[in-house]
Structure 1
Amino acid sequence: MEQTETRIRSILSHLTPTSLLETVNTSAVAAADTNQTAAAVSAPPIIDKQRTQISKWDKDEFRDFLEVNAAYKPVRAKLNELLRDPLFAPVYNMTVEQWRELTLQRAVKVIRSGLISISEFNRDPMKYLISMETINMSDSSLSVKLGVHFSLFGNAVLNLGTEKHHLKYLKDIDTWKLPGCFGMTELGHGSNVQGVETTATYDKDTQEFIINTPSDSAQKFWIGNAALHGQACSVFAQLYIGGVHYGVHVFVVPIRNPDGSIAENVRIMDNGHKLGLQGVDNGRIWFNNKRIPRDNLLNKFGDVQPDGTYVTSIPSKTKRFGSMVAPLVGGRVLIASSALYATKMALIIATRFATNRRQFGNKNQEIPIIQYLTHQRRLFPLIAATVAYNFPINHLKLIYCEPNKTAQNVKDVHVWASGIKAVVTWHKTHTLQTVRECCGGQGFSSFNQIPALKSDLEIDMTYEGDNHVLLQQVSRYLLVELQKGRYNVTLSNHGSKIYNADFQLHCLKWKESHLVQTLSTKIMTALDQGRGLEYSWNDNLDLVTALGKAHIERITLETFQASIKKASLNIQPALELCRNLFFSTKVVDDLGFYLCNDGMTQETAVKVQESINLLCGDMLPHALDLVNSFDVPEQYIHAPIAKADYIQEFRYGLQRKY
């Protein structure tokens, strides 16, 4: 027994080498506002000469490089100043009613500042996107409440309506005189908007539309701003004229009177307590022969003349519907961008805490937990991926904000927005869960921000399109491109230069190509066997989802590398480190696919697998600087564990209430 204990002690001494303990710099703590470098430790020896080594790099330039457009810094600065008002300070332990009241006060404060306007949605969409993602860093409920009012209700009036609607509604939308909500989702229909049950029947005798909820499954459900504050709703309904069905159209329907009372022939109920976003008053709406004027039809793509004649420049119901929902893609752009900022905030908090939090080691010199490989393997790939996703999102913003879009631009925006929204919100959710665990019990405290980010942003993966459904849209596009001969197939993928950008791109392109060809073959075979397209598609939804994700991973690496080529030598090494770790992690996550389909030799697969530990070692001395160089204003990081001395933050008798 004594010999066994001696042997265990010997093994443990090797697991905690003296050389590691001696290299810990006990004075290196996370000074958030000075970008102080993390505790310096000896990185693992360099084995592969292909790996880019980092010595010094420009943190301020790195931060600027992540910004989509430096010209909009004043926009963010003005909002940052407004959001320093005590009204926006963190508050905890509120009831749902208190949350909603505070969110309303904050919304009115922002609107009255004049810093956000629905008219800017088209005139300067980049300004609008940057404004909303900044607000989301301060308060997710506020961002969603304003987003429902401006991005959804206001955007519907702006881009589905015509001049008469603009003159009648836009000024009141901009001033909150007409608080709005967005009536698309029903209890029985969410993603399948073309299948909504609400009806709008034209009465030519009175020149009115009669809005009806024909069943309980047709009730408008999860409608933001509906439970308390909304006065008008942009309602998606099936249009009928003289018994003829003309497909889904959108109508402005009053749901409350100016005094706040519920409008005649409208019923509203509260959706009640939710997982998060307690400040948003989600509600349910029913219509019982609710009559509205003919002019309340948002008629940009289809109109009804006084005598009941239907006129449109797009005869096809499906194409007309596509034109109606196309302007709403901006919501997906904003969700993806805001999700990435939430991810950055969480990683800032977790990495600073990991640098300061000490556990195990010598009695008087415990080791910062960031030194442990298990911690690095959890955090560092997430940091690398967050940097990587910054660039396709920036590209998406640019093509979305392009003033004179071509048909291809419009298609690209739709495909990119659908796929990136899905992949980045999943990345955000995985990151938030991981950092919650990495911060231990502190990650469970609301004061440390992570729980609020987790609960408030959980809905990202569902609203504005369920992620799995969105990836189907991406895959459908790729199949069409393949069938039309516009998809360039990558046939083989053998090579071993795992830190070479061309090899990395070839690798991800091969995976995408293999998936699109396999999916196409399976569907065509099923069709040849007499199975319908709907059934053959459903039988291969696993491949459909995998293909959508593979496409986004490929374009992420592609845009990332294109950006690295434009970067100065001051920051290229830091960017390349993130690119290498992003690539290795994505390949290892799906290593079975590569090996099973002869997409990579076993020797190369082993190299990629082993590279993650090496790259984590390379990132260790720079991880804190990387997250501190994220483009997140310091005012939004108020977690005690993100402070330079988190123990001091929790001393007994401290006036701050935790």
Structure 2
Amino acid sequence: MEQNYDRIKSIIAHLLPLEISNTNASVDAAPAITAEKPRAQIPKWNKDELRDYLESNPSYKQVKQNLQNFLKDPIFAPKYNMNCEQWREVTLQRSIKVINSGLISLAEFNRDPMKYLLSMELLNLSDPSLSVKLGVHFSLFGNAVLNLGTEKHHLKYIKDIDTWKLPGCFGMTELGHGSNVQGVETTATYDKDTQEFIINTPSDSAQKFWIGNAALHGQACAVFAQLYIGGVHYGVHVFVVPIRNADGSTATNVRIMDNGYKLGLQGVDNGRLWFDNKRIPRDNLLNKFGDVMPDGSYVTSIPSKNKRFGSMVAPLVGGRVLIASSALNAAKLSLIIAIRYAYARRQFGSKGNEIPIIQYLTHQRRLFPLIAATVALNFPVLQLKQIYCEPNKTPQNVKDVHIWASGLKAVVSWHKTHTLQQVRECCGGQGFSAFNQIATLKSDLEIDMTYEGDNHVLLQQVAKNLLVELQKGRYTVTLPNHGVKIQNSDFQIQCFKWRESHLVQTLSSKIMSALDVGVGLEHSWNDNLDVITALGKAYIERITLEYFQAAIKKASANLQPVLELCRNLYFSSRVENDLGFFLCNDGLTHETGLKIQESVNKLCGDMLPVALDIVNSFDIPEQFVHAPIAKPDYIQEFRYGLERNY
């Protein structure tokens, strides 16, 4: 009996996680690890060096520092215990404070778009409602005036937009039409006798819906409407339509209702708009791509309605760029909170010596691949920002921005949402507290997958581009890789290239087969939306791995080992998630598939000694990490008598 008891004790001892010493270390120091088996040690690196490398915008350090200092003003301190009306008032006051500072300006939107992006990213870390409210005003309404209007609009509106004298809205979405903007029902009919446009909401499904700033503060709206002249339809155009007077009263022939309480972003006053034959001057048409002369004649340099519409929406792609970069920052912030807590929080183990929860494989398996993916996605997002901010874009640059912004907005916002759910669970009950930021981030950023384009619809645009490239003979087909060197970057990239290549060929074959038997393109496209979505994701994961590896090659020798660890874990975890596809389509041998699957646990073990250092190297300013559980001694953050005035 005693022998059996000793054997059971031995088995249990093997089941317990490895010992961590010094788990009360500061947030800047990873605890020491004692392993049962020697592991490949990742050399220490300089956290500031990695932080700068992930940021990769050294020339804007002072710009960011100035805004960070500004955001230390008490008005931006975190608040949680407010009703909807209080949230909106606080967000309004914060918005006015930012605008009065002059740190963000529409006049700089085209001149220095990188400064604008970085500034909005910091505002999003401070308060998502603030960044969205100002984003509607500047990125959407202001951007429409700036890039769809002409000099007369710039002279009339830009100064008032920059000073909040003319708070703006963006009237694209309708109750009946969201992603299909060309299908909006709102009409703009030209009256040549008065030289006015008559803006009308012909049905309740045509009401403008979810319009930011419309419920309370907006005075003008960039309205998307179908243009009619003498009964002839000219497609969607954008008009500046007054919706409120300077005293805040509703403009004539305009009706406004509040969208009310939402899942998140309570500080943004979303509203609904109806126009009852609202008359506006002819000059209120934003006429860069098409104009109406006083006599009613239509003038444009782009005769095709579809191409003209494409030119009109192209300048608005910046919203998707900003969502992708801000979503990645939210993933970084949430991982900082969860990982710090996981190294400090103890549960189970021998009496008087409980074990940090990060030691449990279930915890590592949930969090460490997310760290790897967050580091990996950093590099294509940086590249997207660079090509978006390129002042003299080539036609290829414009195309790349559209495709990359569509795909990365979808993939990164999904990654952020998955990350937030995992860290919420990994933090247990503490993840449910608003004080610890995760719950608020989950609710405020849930809309990322919907606005600026539904993610599934955006991935269709990525897939469509790849299909066209294949059909025009410009796509390089990749054969399967049956090698076994799973941590070789060339092997990894070829695996992802093969998956994308196989999917685009499969899609082409299925659509052509359907057309051959008389099935229409629209129906065949719809019948293959599963393949289309998978193709869009595969493309983004392929460029992510390629740009990650390119960044590793350029990194210093000190940074390369930790970046390679992240790359290997990113690759193995992504393949593991899609292992059925690889095996069913002969993309990997069974032996290699098993080897990749088994590598995830080992790579998690390799990351265990350094994960805390990795997240503490993320380019997230410490002033935005408010969560008590992310502090060096979280127990003291909950001592009796300490009240949080949130």
Q: Indicate the TM-score class for this superposition, using the shorter chain for normalisation.
A: over 0.9
1:409 maps to a residue whose letter is: N
- Using the alignment, how far apart are the partners of 2:645 and 2:238 within structure 1? 48
CA gap 1:44/1:536 in 2 versus in 1, 3 angstroms: farther
**CA apart distance, 1:16:** 2.1
- Using the alignment, how far apart are the partners of 1:305 and 1:65 within structure 2? 53
**CA apart distance, 1:309:** 0.2
User: 2:587 aligns to what SS in structure 1?
Assistant: coil
1:398 maps to a residue whose letter is: Q
The residue number in structure 2 matching 1:286 is 274
**CA apart distance, 1:120:** 1.1
Q: Write the mapping of 1:377-388 to structure 2, written as runs, cut at 5 A.
A: 377-388=365-376
The residue number in structure 2 matching 1:170 is 158
1:42 maps to a residue whose letter is: A
Q: Write the mapping of 1:24-43 to structure 2, written as runs, cut at 5 A.
A: 24-25=20-21, 27-32=22-27, 35-42=28-35
2:24 maps to a residue whose letter is: V
The residue number in structure 2 matching 1:543 is 531
1:166 maps to a residue whose letter is: H
> Which whole-Å deviations, capped at 9, do the CAs of 1:242-293 have from their partners, x for residues lacking one?
0000000000000000000000000000000000000000000000000000
1:344 maps to a residue whose letter is: K
> Which whole-Å deviations, capped at 9, do the CAs of 1:574-603 have from their partners, x for residues lacking one?
111000000001100000000000000011
**CA apart distance, 1:30:** 4.9
The residue number in structure 1 matching 2:80 is 92
The residue number in structure 2 matching 1:508 is 496
Q: TM-score, normalised by structure 1?
A: 0.97
The residue number in structure 1 matching 2:14 is 14
- Using the alignment, how far apart are the partners of 1:425 and 1:626 within structure 2? 21
Identity of aligned residues (%): 79
The residue number in structure 2 matching 1:412 is 400
Q: TM-score, normalised by structure 2?
A: 0.98
> Which whole-Å deviations, capped at 9, do the CAs of 1:27-76 have from their partners, x for residues lacking one?
343523xx212343327544xxxxx7412212111000011311011111
The residue number in structure 1 matching 2:637 is 649
Aligned match of 2:388 in 400, 404, 427?
A: 400
Aligned match of 1:391 in 379, 385, 389?
A: 379
The residue number in structure 2 matching 1:619 is 607
- Using the alignment, how far apart are the partners of 2:645 and 2:257 within structure 1? 36
**CA apart distance, 1:657:** 4.9
> Which whole-Å deviations, capped at 9, do the CAs of 1:501-522 have from their partners, x for residues lacking one?
0000000000000000000000
Aligned residues: 646
Where structure 2 has 5 or more consecutive residues not aligned to the other structure, the ranges are none
The residue number in structure 2 matching 1:49 is none
The residue number in structure 1 matching 2:63 is 75
Task: Confirm whether residue 253 of structure 1 aligns to residue 241 of structure 2.
Answer: yes
**CA apart distance, 1:14:** 2.9
- Using the alignment, how far apart are the partners of 1:655 and 1:166 within structure 2? 49
- Using the alignment, how far apart are the partners of 1:649 and 1:42 within structure 2? 31
CA contact (8 A) 1:376 1:616 kept: yes
1:94 maps to a residue whose letter is: M
The residue number in structure 1 matching 2:576 is 588
The residue number in structure 1 matching 2:323 is 335
- Using the alignment, how far apart are the partners of 1:15 and 1:481 within structure 2? 53
CA contact (8 A) 2:175 2:208 kept: yes
- Using the alignment, how far apart are the partners of 1:576 and 1:4 within structure 2? 45
Task: Confirm whether residue 274 of structure 1 aligns to residue 267 of structure 2.
Answer: no
CA contact (8 A) 2:23 2:356 kept: no
> Which whole-Å deviations, capped at 9, do the CAs of 1:480-535 have from their partners, x for residues lacking one?
00011111110222111000000000000000000000000000000011010000
The residue number in structure 2 matching 1:192 is 180
CA contact (8 A) 1:149 1:180 kept: yes
The residue number in structure 2 matching 1:494 is 482
CA contact (8 A) 2:323 2:448 kept: yes
Where structure 1 has 5 or more consecutive residues not aligned to the other structure, the ranges are 47-51
**CA apart distance, 1:365:** 1.1
CA gap 1:203/1:649 in 2 versus in 1, 3 angstroms: same
CA gap 1:292/1:193 in 2 versus in 1, 3 angstroms: same
Task: Confirm whether residue 57 of structure 1 aligns to residue 45 of structure 2.
Answer: yes
- Using the alignment, how far apart are the partners of 1:54 and 1:175 within structure 2? 51
User: 1:167 aligns to what SS in structure 2?
Assistant: helix
User: 1:443 aligns to what SS in structure 2?
Assistant: helix
1:628 maps to a residue whose letter is: N
Aligned match of 2:218 in 230, 247, 255?
A: 230
**CA apart distance, 1:119:** 1.4
- Using the alignment, how far apart are the partners of 1:102 and 1:582 within structure 2? 40
**CA apart distance, 1:4:** 8.9
CA contact (8 A) 2:328 2:412 kept: yes
Which is further off, 118-127 or 153-162? Answer: 118-127
**CA apart distance, 1:631:** 0.2
The residue number in structure 1 matching 2:422 is 434
Aligned match of 1:182 in 147, 161, 170?
A: 170
- Using the alignment, how far apart are the partners of 2:644 and 2:320 within structure 1? 38
CA contact (8 A) 2:330 2:416 kept: yes
CA contact (8 A) 1:442 1:448 kept: yes
**CA apart distance, 1:121:** 1.1
CA gap 1:104/1:519 in 2 versus in 1, 3 angstroms: same
**CA apart distance, 1:13:** 3.2
**CA apart distance, 1:188:** 0.3
CA contact (8 A) 1:210 1:292 kept: yes
CA contact (8 A) 2:436 2:629 kept: yes
User: 1:170 aligns to what SS in structure 2?
Assistant: helix
The residue number in structure 1 matching 2:104 is 116
CA contact (8 A) 1:339 1:424 kept: yes
- Using the alignment, how far apart are the partners of 1:75 and 1:231 within structure 2? 31
**CA apart distance, 1:336:** 0.3
> Which whole-Å deviations, capped at 9, do the CAs of 1:295-350 have from their partners, x for residues lacking one?
00000000000000000000000000000000000000000000000000000000
Task: Confirm whether residue 638 of structure 1 aligns to residue 626 of structure 2.
Answer: yes
Task: Confirm whether residue 158 of structure 1 aligns to residue 146 of structure 2.
Answer: yes
Aligned match of 1:571 in 542, 559, 571?
A: 559
CA gap 1:377/1:504 in 2 versus in 1, 3 angstroms: same
- Using the alignment, how far apart are the partners of 1:653 and 1:156 within structure 2? 51
**Dislocated runs of 4+, deviation >3 Å:** 1-11, 43-46, 655-658
- Using the alignment, how far apart are the partners of 2:515 and 2:389 within structure 1? 40
2:34 maps to a residue whose letter is: V
User: 2:608 aligns to what SS in structure 1?
Assistant: helix
User: 2:109 aligns to what SS in structure 1?
Assistant: helix
Task: Confirm whether residue 375 of structure 1 aligns to residue 363 of structure 2.
Answer: yes
The residue number in structure 1 matching 2:507 is 519
CA gap 1:308/1:379 in 2 versus in 1, 3 angstroms: same
RMSD: 1.4
CA contact (8 A) 1:269 1:285 kept: yes
CA contact (8 A) 1:30 1:352 kept: no
User: 2:255 aligns to what SS in structure 1?
Assistant: strand
CA gap 1:60/1:44 in 2 versus in 1, 3 angstroms: farther
